[in-house]
Amino acid sequence: MPSDQADRRLLEHVRTAHLLRTTAAVLSWDQEVMLPPGGVAWRAEQLALLAGLVHERAVDPRVEEWLAACEQDPRLRQDPFSDFAANVRELRRDYEQCKRLPAPLVQQLAETESLAQHEWAEARARSDYGRFRPWLDRLLRLHRDKAACLRDPRRHAEAWDALLDLHEPGATAAQVDAMFRELAQRHRAIIGHATEGRNGGPDPFQGQPIDDRVQESFVREVLVALGFDLERGRLDRSTHPFCTGTGGDVRLTTRFTADGLLDALGSTMHEGGHGLYEQGLDPARLGTPLGEAVSLGIHESQSRLWENHVGRSRAFWRWCAPVLRRHVSTVHADEAVLFAACNRVQPGLIRVEADEATYDLHVLIRFQIERALLSGTLGTADLPAAWNAAYREQLGVVVPDDRRGCLQDVHWSCGLFGYFPTYTFGNLYAAQFAEAARAALGDLDAMLARGEFAPLREWLRVNVHRHGRRFPPAELCRRATGRELSAEPFLTHLERRVAEAAA
């Protein structure tokens, strides 16, 4: 078959698989936002069926034929990043990964993850680790099998690497280990410096309950100002904020607590950053590699950039403080107070509420524990004790119950193993992108202070979003920022931010 024809068939084929996959994503969103408890078992079956159908398409033997026909084409070697070459490279990667997984395992994973997520939410609400533990055991068994299937000994020194590779192509545990060694030391110095000196400021909303409808109207206005298009997306509520969907239908969720307005804003801007990436993908290429996010680290860079580099900046609060006072007439805090409150460094228990300086230590703890759980050196019976000991050692805090300890995150319950370090990759990428955007745009702070978010959003769209999977993450970073990924821009940003908040 001529390569042009094979390429066309291939793209049509993966596009239909993508339609099925996004259908499952809507059902998963519904499960988190709407589903009555009585529908949980039926939903698990629906998701398992769809996962089976997606898998069946992904491993269709015709895919191998089409790929083989494309791989004969000399255009592949002329420009490795052309539309044609990038599609073939990425589809080969997807095909090789899917082919390694037996269909029954794929379906069993989908069904177990759907049920386990419900069990986790119940267990978390009651702070009852014993209820979740058998599900965690089941999930670990399945993910060990999955890792064993996916593991390519030439690239994956350990089973966990094969799971990380799904989310952050090419990254390894050894690389993550080295990254954390570099970060942890400087982090501790930054935390020490902040907590010993004048450290941000108190949260003006603590003990000041605000109606959640008022909070919602405020965060919605901010979200729209950033450029999130509500004609092509929604904002709802869930236990754990997330973003799903793509193109014309991007679903965000957030959460509200009576005195947690700053957390609700942070979560909304975070998920909004993910949503802007999805809405910024090339609409003509949706469902094919050039219309898909390239990695979770890059995805996370978009959320952290809006949440931290924008949402925690003094310039942003110059614009946002009056917006907030318009929604909440009882708030008298000014820009300086709100900026200081957002940047208080305070080692705490909850990852999603952590400040920028302590956040990566939460990730480090999860990375080390998960790697030990997967390899079996840590048993699930010992998880709460190991978790609590790590929090005491790394952050100096005492975990009072499992709800605020090892049950706080949704990830393991929905099968996201090998995922947590992508948050730290995201922080590093975010700082490097923000630095490059500042250099390109001129006085970014003046724009943020006027509520002009379009220049930054456009810079990200052109330099990151529009490429989809054309460039692997490391190459994308080089092209957008002119250099290799490094921890330096992130650490410099943190040191500057902590000093500014203490001034």
Residues that bind Zn ion (CB under 5 A): 303
CB of 334 to Zn ion, least distance (A): 30
Coil, strand, or helix at residue 351? Answer: helix
Residue 287 falls in which region: left (phi positive, over 0), alpha (psi -120 to 50) or beta? left
Coil, strand, or helix at residue 249? Answer: strand
DSSP state of 291: B
Distance CA 7, CA 180 (A): 41
Residue with smaller CB distance to Zn ion, 172 or 303: 303
Sign of CA dihedral 307, 276, 429, 21: positive
Nearest Cα residue to 366 out of 306, 424, 326: 424
Distance CA 2, CA 8 (A): 10
Residue with smaller CB distance to Zn ion, 142 or 222: 222
CB of 305 to Zn ion, least distance (A): 11
Distance CA 254, CA 273 (A): 13
Among 119, 271, 300, 356, the active-site one is 271
CB of 121 to Zn ion, least distance (A): 19
Whether residue 113 lies in the annotated active site? no
Residue with smaller CB distance to Zn ion, 115 or 434: 434
Element (H, E) at 280: helix 261-280
Nearest residue to Zn ion, scored by beta-carbon proximity: 303
Provide the β-strand partners of residue 233: 250
Tokens of 201: 């400021």
Residue with smaller CB distance to Zn ion, 303 or 394: 303
Nearest Cα residue to 184 out of 494, 499, 502: 494
Residue with smaller CB distance to Zn ion, 303 or 343: 303
Tokens of 44: 């698990």
CB of 269 to Zn ion, least distance (A): 11
Q: Are 270 and 445 contacting, i.e. CB atoms less than 8 angstroms apart?
A: no
Q: Are 350 and 404 contacting, i.e. CB atoms less than 8 angstroms apart?
A: yes
User: Long-range contacts: 212-216, Cβ < 8 Å, 24+?
Assistant: 212/256, 212/258, 214/327, 214/328, 215/256, 215/261, 215/264, 216/256, 216/264
Residue with smaller CB distance to Zn ion, 272 or 472: 272
CB of 270 to Zn ion, least distance (A): 6
Nearest Cα residue to 501 out of 322, 320, 355, 394: 355
Work out the end-to-end distance of the chain between its first and last CA atoms, rounded to an integer number of angstroms: 68
CB of 300 to Zn ion, least distance (A): 5
Residue with smaller CB distance to Zn ion, 115 or 171: 171
CB of 228 to Zn ion, least distance (A): 15
Place of tokens 């002329």: 78
Tokens of 311: 């949402």
CB of 302 to Zn ion, least distance (A): 9
Residue with smaller CB distance to Zn ion, 28 or 303: 303
Element (H, E) at 429: helix 421-441
CB of 123 to Zn ion, least distance (A): 23
Tokens of 432: 């490097």
Tokens of 348: 């705490």
Residue with smaller CB distance to Zn ion, 87 or 303: 303
Q: Are 151 and 172 contacting, i.e. CB atoms less than 8 angstroms apart?
A: no
Residue with smaller CB distance to Zn ion, 117 or 268: 268
Going from the C-alpha of 132 to that of each of 35, 114, 356, the distances in angstroms are: 20, 13, 30
CB of 241 to Zn ion, least distance (A): 8
Pairing of β 249-254 and β 243-246: antiparallel
| Active centre residues (catalytic) | 271
